[in-house]
Amino acid sequence: MSPPIPSGSARLQQGPGAAPPAPLPSLQAGAGPAAAVSLLDRLLAAIRPLLPPAVLAPDRLPSDLTPSGAPMEAAFVWADGEPGCDPRVSLDPAPGALPGTRLEAALSLCRAVAGAEPSPEVSRLVARLSCWQRQAGGRYGAWAGLRQSASGRLAAKLYLEVAPAVDAAGRPRWVGFEQRLAGAPPVLTGRNVRPTMLGVTPDGGVLELYYRTDPLFPGDLDTLMRRFGLVPRGREIRRLVERLTGRSVRFEIPSSDVGFSVAFQIVGEGRAQRAHALAFTFYSNAAALLGPDARVTEALLAEGAVRGWDMAAYRHALSGSGAPHGEAPLQRHGLVGLVLAGKASARVTATLAAFGQSREACHG
Amino acid sequence: MFDVSSVREIEYGASGVTYVYQDHDNPKLWYMVPVPRLRTLDGAPSFGMTEYTSNGGGIAGLCTFEMELVQPLEARRAAEEILGSDISWGGFVWVGGTAYFYYDIAGENEVLAVEPTLYGTNVAAFQIELATPEAVNSFKNAFSGDEGGASTFRVEYEMQVLTKLLGAKATVIYTAEAAIEYEKKYKTVRDTWGNQKQVLQEVKQVLRQSGAGEVKVELGPGSSDELAQRVRDWGWTTLENQVADTVAAAAVMATGPNPVSATTSFNQTYQEDTVIDWSTPVSSFMRRFSPDEWKQVFTKVDNRKLSVVFNLIGELNRSGTDDPVAETVTVTVTYPTRPTDNTFTLIVTDGDQSSKIYDAPGDFSGGSYNPEFTYTYVINFKDGKTFKSDPITTTDTLVNITPNVFGTRQVTFIGQNIPFSGPAGVREVNIDFFFAPPAGNPAIVQTKTLTANGAENGVRFDSFYNLPIGQNYSYRLRYQMADNSEIVSEPPGALSSAPDYTGSGNADIVFVADPKGLFTQFTLRAFNYTTETTTLLLVDVNAQYFDPVNNGDKWIAENTWSNWQPTGLLSFAEPRWNFQAVDNTNNAYFNLSGTIFYSNGESFTLDGYRQSSEYKTMTVTNTVQNYSVKVDSSLVDWTQVASVNLTMFQLKPQVREKFGKNVPAFLSRPRHEMTTAQRIEAEASQQNVMLFSLLGAPSGVVVDSLERFYGIQRPIAEPTIEFYYTAVYVLKDGTTRELESQEVSGRLSVELPALPPATVTPGLVRQVMEPGALAARMRQGG
């Protein structure tokens, strides 16, 4: 449905002395023999002229967008019977900068892509969440997301950090906002469900709220989906996890780092404005669910082979990996997830930090 | 024996599902996995729910019920329609199991696990305290309503049964390096190791996320993907439990932080035909009560009541028979609000009345709810004898009466993949088995012989006393090889790997494997604490592996790390040292020699430092120096003594001053025998805990006087070496004697006496070595 949540959380778990930033991806379409056909390469080539210099700088600081420190992450979305992989990219427009700076940089990128200012509603949202970030000490502020339509037109999405700011009574400031959006009281009060990021299109037509939670049972997912007026489809998530892990899921979903997002369509204006949930996406940190990169890759390729997905772009992106300075590569996969939109067929998503073949390549 | 690859799903009734397995040899013989059902007692459902309207003493309600396993007739009929009416049905013999209650409160899923009995209809009693009115409403909605039918809540039984791995081969692999790397990268502080259940949770995550765990399944011809998943499930559970045990043991032996870094790699392959304990999970939804039934099972009262489940668990029939080990257990509860009718009887003989939910009005006389009660029980044995327990005061709402209090233990040894053929194979395995009997009963080392693999050829040691016995036992395997040589394999004593273990543990299975070719890994690790100005500069170490009972005084394997320069907080000498040896961790040991150089120009000589092979990691740090203590058992009078359990430990520096000379005596006991409070104190105060189990010999066999070695650590800042030990001698006449509480100084060795005097005050021995004596010893050692 929408670009997946960036996986910068895993970065936080690293202690001081983290590895140096990973080199940037090659943004040249046709850099490799198979690259010319890669949908992801086409997207990367299209966005390259728009990238802020800070993303391309060879001496940039590591980004907390990805576990590897890369400031860019590709997302693939596969569905049975659908061609391609619907690639999209999330990026940190100012690696290492303060949240406010990154928010401005992300907004600039969105303006450049849309060719217009964000809608007044979006501007108000940005101001509000920016205020929370200042109050609570934001971690990253914002990311930008980019995708390409079939006609080749680029579309942007702004990801805003939902910082844990509190009011005078100690209540998180996001509570009222979240309940109005959800349209129903909270559920699963024992699972530490909290929104962490808001994705918004520049026109404000679609909002996507991203949550993190404590470990969940498949049945909990049904409870969550019901809250948003969506068809409960937790069983499909359980089956996907069983297929990817090759094991039965009898208790919690076997991952210590999970979350979900709900995409809302915003209709009406002013007081008549309403949010209708369109899609629910379950996410897990890829490593927490499946292990190191090799195992994530093995599981995704095996599932893709059985279900006939187009994995060419994913394979090609994988082949571009390389460890900087001969060090063991850090985890490249960020998240795996399942997108459930209404009664439509489920779509599987995975994110991969962009790794370049070499530092030199990013100068090209 | 049933064939795991033949599983078929059987649907019956409105929504029932169960599974059937075909016998491996007889195609007309099938086994049906029984399904859970709510018990009925005197025609009424064994179910009760109470809502507290005013003073719930912290809770809003309580739900209690009992489940059992049955084979519904309609399930059999449904199976016979598919499999043919000419089939016959076999029965499973459970060797363990867990029952799970899956429920949700306001849509939030929860699971409660309990241990069912292993006899009768495998009754499992559940009690759920409902904290909030919302939780009470969730339960009321789940179990009542005009529409009737199935509840959304369900119960699953996962029972273990012995069978052969057919149609697949499985290998479980633990790569310690990957787990350690993960720990270093993602987390440097842990405080939960040492608790079995928490360890297992952590282990699952570490194994998955680090890639340190791997289960490979190779399917045989014609086997299904479903079998692959079931075998993989089994393999992962096996691997997780093995690693959890390893980590928990490393945490208890703790000679440094981060017990994961003290684990070593292993892998184990289970070939086709290997005997394994297979799980048979099956669940069924509970039912909603009709309005009339609901009136009977639901009550609303003002104040919270005391509600306690009393449960007989484990195997209380003599193995292979329906002969129960006792007749009844009479329980008497003392609680202020219920002055009469406080005695009830649990009946062992039919397995159906093995649990009782006792309740009484809540005692609020002190202003708040009083959860504390006292109980005693009297076991009435078949021969007319009785045993009365001491009064036990507790706040537990689930009281399990375990088989060891009946004096019963049934341990079966099963050959798993022993090569019982060929010129280099095994002729037979003699198993020496020992446990401490009740006082006054003769204690002997029993020996039985295993001559073939498989459950049908297993060798069982039964004991049935009419008095309580401890939960521990020890054994030694003596493989008689075809070339007339002997290989001895003896595990270490059960230290405390399962401090939270609450299982019955009386019907244990010990799998006996090929004695040769066990993969062994030894790790040399270093901690360079940044709090110190002096760091480790260089380490030269030579390590040798000795197994005197199998290889005399010659080393079996050797490795040298030269000029190793430890870096960072935690580092490992590479490459890791891998070799193959007999699994004889009770008395094999590592001998290490070398020099550790520090940045301040000083050095420390490892002069024949020895440590038990149970601990496969040597830790050097810039804060401690390593010495070994020799345990000499040559004086033990094995004509009178059957077994000696020697527990050794050190105190963490921060508690030495706190305890002074009054070190609590409970620290000498295994952690599973401690109370919760004692366990917490032990975890906070003990380190480097080792249990040496010294086993006498059966009649006609000479006891080897083997030396054991205890590796200890002396903080560099503290010139004195200090450690504690206690030894319990079990005499052949069934009495026990312990070492006298005393202080010994000037020695780095422990000489166990022939027999402690009967008159001494038993207690801990504190052994110290002052700086002067230590320096003299080091000079002497060169």
Number of Cβ within 10 Å of residue A298's Cβ equals 13
| pLDDT, position A354 | 80
Which residue's entry shows tokens 């058992």?
A: B633
Confidence at residue A321, expressed as pLDDT on a 0 to 100 scale = 52
Q: Count contacts between A and B (CB, < 8 Å).
A: 66
Q: What is the DSSP string of A317-337?
A: HHHT---GGGPPPPP-EEEEE
Sign of CA dihedral A344, A346, A351, A356: negative
Which residue type does B418 have?
A: I
Percent pLDDT > 70 in chain A is 84
Bridge partners of B769, per DSSP, are B721
Locate the chain B residue with the closest alpha carbon to A292: B211
Q: How far is A187 from chain B (nearest CA, A)?
A: 7
Alpha-carbon dihedral B492, B495, B501, B506, rounded to 10 degrees? 50
For residue A362, pLDDT beyond 50: no
Q: How confident is the model at residue B190 (pLDDT cuts 50, 70, 90)?
A: very low
Instruction: Indicate if the pLDDT at residue B634 is higher than 50.
Output: yes
Q: Quick: pLDDT tens for B546-587.
A: 999 899 889 999 999 999 999 888 889 988 899 988 888 888
B185 confidence band (pLDDT: 50, 70, 90): low
Residues B384-426 pLDDT 10s: 889 999 898 888 888 888 887 888 888 889 998 899 988 889 9
How is residue A2 annotated by DSSP?
-
Top CATH class of B304-401 equals mainly beta
Minimal CA separation from A27 to chain B, in Å: 30
The shortest C-alpha distance from A49 to chain B (Å) reads 36
The pLDDT of residue B601? 93
Percent of chain B with pLDDT over 90: 38
Mutate to test the interface with B, among A224, A247, A303, A332 (most CBs of B within 10 A): A247
pLDDT digits (tens, 9 = 90+) for B419-449: 998 888 999 999 998 887 887 788 888 899 9
Closest Cα partner for A209 from A171, A179, A252, A172? A179
Residue type, A223: T
Residue B493: the pLDDT is 64
Q: Which of A102-111, B146-155, B174-183, B204-213 has the highest mean pLDDT?
A: A102-111
Distance CA B221, CA B203 (A): 33
Return the domain boundaries, chain B.
1-163+275-303, 168-272, 304-401, 406-511, 517-622, 624-782
pLDDT band at A325 (very low <50, low <70, confident <90, very high): very low
B-chain residues near A289 (CB < 8 A) = 208
Q: Is the pLDDT of residue B500 over 50?
A: no
Q: Which whole number is the average pLDDT over A211-234?
A: 94
Q: What per-residue confidence (pLDDT) applies to A25?
A: 44
Distance from CA of B202 to the nearest CA of A (A): 10
Contact list in A for residue B185 (CB cut-off 8 A) is 14
| pLDDT at residue A235, rounded to an integer | 93
Domain range summary for chain A, segments of one domain joined by +: 9-363
- Three-state DSSP state, B705: coil
Q: Where residue B329 falls among pLDDT bands split at 50, 70, 90?
A: very high
Provide CATH code, domain B406-511.
2.60.40
Integer Cα distance of A13 and B706 in angstroms: 48
Q: What is the 3 state secondary structure string of B666-712?
A: HHHCCHHHCCHHHHHHHHHHEEEEEEEEEECCCCCCCCCCCCEEEEE
Q: What is the pLDDT of residue B13?
A: 86
The answer to whether B472 touches B435, Cβ cutoff 8 Å, is yes
Fold agreement (B304-401, B406-511): yes
Supply the DSSP symbol for B650.
E
pLDDT tier, A343 (very low <50, low <70, confident <90, very high otherwise): confident
Task: Characterise A362 by phi-psi region: left (phi > 0), alpha (psi -120 to 50), beta (else).
Answer: alpha
pLDDT class of B321 with cuts at 50, 70, 90: confident
Mean pLDDT of B184-201: 55
CB contact under 8 A, B188 and A226: no
Task: Name the pairing type of β-strands B305-312 and B398-401.
Answer: parallel
Q: What is the mean pLDDT of chain B?
A: 86
B192 falls in which pLDDT band (50, 70, 90)? very low
> What's the distance, CA A362 to chain centroid?
23
CB contacts of B210 in chain A (<8 Å) are 291-292
Establish if B233 touches chain A: CB-CB under 8 angstroms: yes
Q: Which amino acid is at B291?
A: P
Asked if B188 has any chain A CB less than 8 Å from its own CB, the reply is yes
Nearest to A332 by CA among A297, A281, A282: A297
The class of domain B624-782 in CATH terms is mainly beta
Helices and strands in chain B, H and E counts? 10, 50
B565 lies within 8 A of chain A by CB: no
Out of B325-339, B351-365, B516-530, the most confident range is B325-339
Mean pLDDT over B295-324 rounds to 85
pLDDT, mean over chain A:
83
